[in-house]
Homo-oligomer: A and B are copies of this chain.
Amino acid sequence: MSTTSPEPVGLRERKKAQLRETLLNSGLRLFHEKGYEKTTTEEIAACAGVSQRTFFRYFASKEDVVLEAVEGVDEVLCAALRARPSDEHPFRALRNAMRDHWVILERENLHLQGSAGNFISQSPELFEANMRYCHRRQAKLAEVIGERTGVDPATDPRPSLVATVFFAALNNGFQTWSASGCTDSTDGLLRAFLHQLDLVPEAVCETWSTPGDPHHQA
């Protein structure tokens, strides 16, 4: 794995971590093959060679399998955000981190988390489910934004607001992308994301361009 986690020492802990990953892989693979809805938790468990009950001892819900994968992706995004110059405006930094993060994901595309991100993007079935995660995910992003700007997300609502708006724009981008056929795999999606992010200022404070001119360059 690319994510740095402390290596478990005992045999028991090693087996546990191993089973968790087996379950995760089984779930993602089945979701990819048959679709999220058509995959049952029993199948995931059977695929990993354990009982359904054991599956639920490792994952609180079926959705959590997806969330687990997404969190891996988010870690890369947070790292990319931390790497941005600290004088960049938070939202702009997030936008640029998104672009950087995409490159990193593509570079490490062999990793599971990366393919999980793709698979979520490719399955409109998961779009709504993905939205549900956002408010869990935004907390982490808000944390990093708080670090960058030197404010405490617990007292200042702005970091989480930035994160929330960021995900909102992403969701919108995903919608337009999937509405427009979503033929190309990842490149078009990134473009859609960046496009939405760049439209946000106009959508909330800048001059709203004339209706006769709906198009404009990125």
Query: Which residues in A have some Cβ–Cβ distance to B below 8 Å?
Result: 89-91, 128, 131-132, 134-135, 149-152, 155-158, 160-162, 164-165, 167-169, 171-173, 175-176, 195-196, 199-206, 208, 211, 214
Question: A160 vs B135: C-alpha distance in the bound complex, in angstroms?
Answer: 19
- Known contacts A131-B131, A131-B135, A164-B172; is-contact A158 B211 (Cβ 8 Å): no
CB closest residue in chain B, given A134: B131
- Protomer copies: 2
CB closest residue in chain B, given A210: B150
Is the pair B149, A208 in contact by a Cβ cutoff of 8 Å?
yes
Question: Top 8 A-B pairs ranked by shortest CB distance?
Answer: A150-B211, A168-B168, A201-B205, A91-B204, A164-B168, A161-B203, A162-B203, A156-B214
- Known contacts A205-B91, A205-B206; is-contact A172 B176 (Cβ 8 Å): no
- Chain B residues lying within 8 Å of A162, measured Cβ to Cβ, are 203-204
Is the pair B168, A167 in contact by a Cβ cutoff of 8 Å?
yes
Name, among A151, A155, A200, A211, the residue most crowded by chain B CB atoms within 10 Å (CB to CB).
A200
- Chain B residues lying within 8 Å of A167, measured Cβ to Cβ, are 168
- Chain B residues lying within 8 Å of A152, measured Cβ to Cβ, are 214
Is the pair B200, A161 in contact by a Cβ cutoff of 8 Å?
yes
> Contacts A161-B196, A161-B203 given; 18 further ones with Cβ under 8 A?
A91-B204, A128-B132, A128-B135, A132-B132, A135-B171, A149-B211, A157-B172, A157-B173, A157-B195, A161-B169, A161-B172, A161-B199, A162-B203, A165-B203, A167-B168, A168-B168, A201-B204, A205-B206
- Known contacts A203-B91, A204-B200; is-contact A169 B160 (Cβ 8 Å): no
